[in-house]
Every structure is written in C-alpha cells, then in structure tokens.
Homo-oligomer: A and B are copies of this chain.
Amino acid sequence: MLTLKYLPITSFNENIAYLHKDCITYRVDDLNQLTKIEIHGGVKTVYAFLQIVDDAKLVKPNEIALNSEAFDIINLPEGAKVSITLAPQPPSLNSIKRKIAGNVLSSAEYSAIINDIASKRYSNMDIASFLVASGSFMSAPEVLSLTEAMVGERIISWENQSIVVDHHCLGGVPGNKTDLIITPIVAAYGLTIPKTASHSLTSCAGVADTMSVLANVDFDEENLKKLIQKNNGAIVSYSALDIAEANKIVANVERQIGITQYEHVAASILAIKMAAGITHLLIDIPVGTKSRVKSSNEAMRLRKLMEYVGDMLSIEIDVVITDGSEPIGNGVGAVLEARDVMKVLMNKKDAPQDLREKSLFLAGRILEFDPKLRGGQGYAVAKEILDSGQALNVMNNIIRTQGQAPQPQLGKLTRDIVANTDGIIEAIDNARINKIGVLAGAGQYVGAGLDLLKKVGDHVYQGETLFRIHSCNATDFAFANSVVDGYNGYEILNQDDED
C-alpha cells in the first residue's frame, strides 16, 4: 500500500501519478516508457500516467502523488492508503489501428472507444490518434455511432415541453455572435431555449466567452432549469454541465492539436444538443473561401450528414447556409463582441446592421419551429420583438438571473492598422483576422481582440484606421504585431484601378 499525496500541478486534462524511483511497491527505476497505472482505494478506480520523481521531498518511496486532475477524481484525503496495478492497454485501441487500415468501425467499437476516453484510459496521444485516424474518413453511420456514444448516459429532460430549441453556428466567421441576440428574441416569443455554448476552441471567442463578459455562464442542470423557468431562455457554458463528458476531453485534444474534421464537428454538436434535451435545432453553416466551410458543396455534404444523424436521433434539424465571406459585426474577441450585441439589442444607430439582420433571419427560422406560426412570418415576428425592446428586456432579465458579470476590461495595449491606399474595401479575410486576433490574445483573454472599423464596401482614405488591435499583455501584443504588417487581411480596391 502507498500513502496518497497531492501535488497541486494542473496538467490540462491528463491524470498524472508520481512515484519515487525507489518506490516500495513497484519497481520503476528502470522503466523506459510511459506507463499507465490504475489506482485503487477510492470509490472509482483512477487511471493515470506515471512519471518518476527522484526527490523524496516531492514524493517519498512509500508515497504516490497525484496531480490536480487525478486527485479530484480519486476523492480521498492526503494520507489515505491506496494500491496500484499496471493498467492494461484498452482493447479499443485496436479499433484505431483498424480505422487507419481503412475499415468502417461498428457502433460497438465507437462506444468502447468513447467509454475508454470518458474513463481516462486513453492518453492524449491516444485520443489524437483516434481523431486523426477517424478524421480522414467516416461513413454517415459511423458519425451516428460516434454521436450516440458521445451523448453518454445523462440527457437533460424538459418535462411538458414538446419544443425545446437551440441554434448552433459552425463558425469560421469572426464576430458573429448572433446567439446572444437570437436567444432573448426566441425566449421573449415564448419558446424554451436553453442555449449551451462553448468556449473558444481555435477562434477569437466562443459564445460562452462572449456571454461570460455579460453574465455568469457556469450552471449545473438543476440551476439551468431554474433559469429557464424564469426567462424561457438562458445562455450557459456546456462545459459546466455534467453532460457529454467524453466530448469535453476530445475537444480539449482537438484544441491542442488544432485539427477539427467535419465528421467530428457534426458528432460533437449533435451529441451536446441531444444530451441537453434539444428537440429542434437550427444549424448555421457560413460559407466563404476564407471561412471554415469553403464551398457550397462542402456545406451541402455537411448539411446532409447532420440531417441524417439528426433524423436517426429524432432531433428536428433545420440547416441554413449563410454568407461567410467576411466577419459579422465590428468586434472580434469577447468584450468587443458583447459591445456589438448590446448595441443591436438596444437598437442603437451605430449597431452593426449585418449582425442585426443575420440574427433576425436566424431567430425567424427558429420561431417557425412553432407549429402555431405561419411559414414565412418568423422574420417579421422576430423584428417586432427586437424593435419593440422586448428582446433587450429579456436579455437584461437573463443577465440579472444568471448573475451580472463585473465590468469587463478591454485590452489596453492597442495599435491602429491603417489603409495604405485610398479605395473601397473589397474583401476581409476571415482566417487572417482570426489569426491576428488569436495572436493578440483573443480566445485566452476576453479583453483581447480586434475592432473592425471598416467593413466590405466601405470607403477608406490612405492612413485611415481599418481596425484596432487590443491586447492584454506584451507577449501577445508583440505576436499580433509580428504578423499584421506582413498581411493584415484587408483587400482594398484602389479606385484608380477601375479607370
């Protein structure tokens, strides 16, 4: 038996166990490879990767230390006695080899893989292998299998609600926080909309990041239900809810390796929405050469895939394909985006019209999930709710009920990027804007981002500001500056060119 010790080290989702090189129960001094162990003694067996320590001040030969992630799971006090055994390789790893070899995996295989991921039997390396192996090819039934496996055991039930709606955007378009406008409109109309939002994976801000600037977003199921009871709508972080746990682990690895495939995106979205108890889901696929989805063909393939999986899971899915050619709104990054959202809800004159129009269009489509509404009337109803100030009222209620966030700080290190010629803005490159924003710190820090003062079609004079960089620290600021001078993402058509 070994004595449990806590090492307060955060390893970003991997369980690590530390043994002294002269450990009294397991010979580790000549281990030459990463080894996975099982730790027994708590309610649940904990799987962890072994690291070897050569300092009795950190870990004594009769101790086993766990990092924060593993210590949380074992749920025992320091000093408790635990035993360890070597963990065998999970048999589901063989399915990954079969996938590399080009096989179609069965539903049982996906289920085994996801169960092993959820119980931390996979290393992050193993998860990366699974993502890459399955990423190059998955049949539609495989995506269904993966989705079903990722839904997990807990599904939130909304008693007496025949329609529970949500919206998800595929992303790739900076700004574009329509959810924060759609949700209060739909809730004001009277439909139930428990919007589960994610934090940024590779973008400048996820919906959860932007909402977190305005209100608390972390709620468990019970408290989410109270929010919905009060306002019909809520915008909460999916990661705080105890649903679709395996997907969280997978998403963390996706973020780290920077690889996301459509099939995984489809499975991930539908698993989360299914687990959240959604019955009617609007999916927005923005298409643009510099967006995430690059062509109508790709968008159509993804639409068919999501419709198929949705049908099999009995979720009503409406997929709309929208213009993803340039950023939506002016702000890119959580604080700046929240500013745009509130301007639209307040019907301010300088509110970004593209964000307003897109939100009304999408909200209208969601309202039409209501059988009582005539086809084609959604937009007008949504517009009335927004124009009349009802949407703003509901948003203020939602913010109050969720708990207002402290006044956010916009990054104080700024730089104006100016036009190098007179002309008309012909294009703004989403991918480039996102990259500059991420380097400026957006995604990590809510106050970082880009403020786009000019959009496509606007006229600029040489020396006029195109956009402003906001960073929260010098490292990020330097990173953004190091790339922005090479190519800032704006294409200006000099009017002389037209002569």
Contact = CB atoms under 8 A, between A and B. Distances in A.
A472 interface: yes
A12 B26 contact: no
B256 A125 contact: yes
A88 B253 contact: no
A133 B86 CA distance: 29
A18 interface: yes
A100 interface: yes
Contacts of A55: 7-8
Nearest to A33: B255
Nearest to A85: B475
A257 B133 CA distance: 12
A109 interface: no
Contacts of A476: 86
Interface residues of A, number: 62
26 contacts: A8-B55, A9-B18, A9-B58, A11-B51, A26-B473, A27-B445, A27-B472, A27-B473, A31-B444, A33-B252, A33-B255, A51-B67, A58-B58, A86-B476, A86-B479, A89-B258, A97-B258, A97-B259, A100-B135, A100-B136, A123-B256, A125-B256, A126-B128, A128-B132, A129-B131, A129-B132
A96 interface: yes
A8 B125 contact: no
Contacts of A93: 257-258
A313 interface: no
Interface in A103-145: 123-129, 131-133, 135-136
A157 interface: no
Interface in A1-17: 7-12
A342 interface: no
Given A100-B135, A475-B26, A52 B10 contact: yes
A317 interface: no
Contacts of A129: 128-129, 131-132, 257, 259
A261 interface: yes
A132 B100 contact: yes
A444 B32 contact: yes
The residue among A18, A54, A96, A257 with the most chain B CB atoms within 10 A of its own CB is A257
A102 interface: yes
A51 B253 contact: no
A34 B255 CA distance: 9
B136 A9 contact: no
A32 B199 contact: yes
Nearest to A59: B9
Interface string A40-68: 00000000000111110010000000011
A85 B474 CA distance: 10
Given A136-B100, A199-B32, A51 B10 contact: yes
A475 B86 contact: yes
A9 B18 CA distance: 8
A315 to B, nearest CB: 28
Contact of A259 (B54, B96, B199): B96
A128 B445 CA distance: 29
Contacts of A131: 129
Contact of A7 (B58, B123, B133, B258): B58
Given A100-B135, A129-B129, 19 more contacts: A7-B55, A8-B55, A10-B54, A12-B34, A32-B199, A33-B255, A33-B256, A51-B67, A54-B68, A88-B439, A96-B132, A102-B136, A125-B125, A125-B253, A126-B257, A128-B128, A128-B129, A132-B132, A133-B136
